[in-house]
Structure 1
């Protein structure tokens, strides 16, 4: 049982890291397209600790490092759901369905279930379409990581 849990956690960190990087890149790119600095979206994540972080656009240890850490930790958290849904050796269709489901659940929880104080904060800098694309990137990151892992296992 412990081995199964350890394996799940390793896979969740791996796929969550890919998903977190993909969604952070999407959010930063969208922020720039909206006329903000690339750090604005990641800084906004740390608004749960420092409310004014949501408006800070320049890189800073306090807002950028903590925002990135919170974001990547959240992606690893969602990676547990993703990996539980698709398992260690799934078919590509199952992987894509699990990734889409996880991204959708993450969006619903992030923006409709938790208090505003603990939302990701991306909405301060991104259009609704760009916010949706950030979650598409999250799902794509999960799927790509699992597909690469599956290919490497063969």
Structure 2
């Protein structure tokens, strides 16, 4: 299989996932309505709520979902081989990351742009808000620990990967 075919197949998978699966999620699961007024327009204050061009919003959310990819993706490719890592990155981006990000955005949009902690506090009680935020902090620590563990494991198993990774840091 040539690299061009692999890149083309991955790109087609991501585009189909975006348009087909994304449209299905929007219509069937979340019942999105194009007439809905988003919080950045409804509560515009030029500080917290500012309407932003679509490419900027796309960029922010793309980096959110792809943030772990450049770190863990090559590490998984070194440990598992490029085939399983590529499948994980493509399918994980579509069915896990994309679905998660879309769900969080929809929940936030339907709750006046609130964060998940604020929503939990409003729906249940203020103590739940604090508990949820603490749990999110611990979850973030776990994610960071896993990043560190995966990268450390790669460096131990493949010391020749240290120097190329070191030189990519400024990028």
Assess same fold via TM > 0.5.
Answer: no
TM-score of the superposed pair, with normalisation by structure 2 = 0.30
TM-score of the superposed pair, with normalisation by structure 1 = 0.32
**Greater gyration radius:** 2
- The structure, 1 or 2, with the larger RCO (C-alpha pairs under 8 Å, 6+ apart) is 1
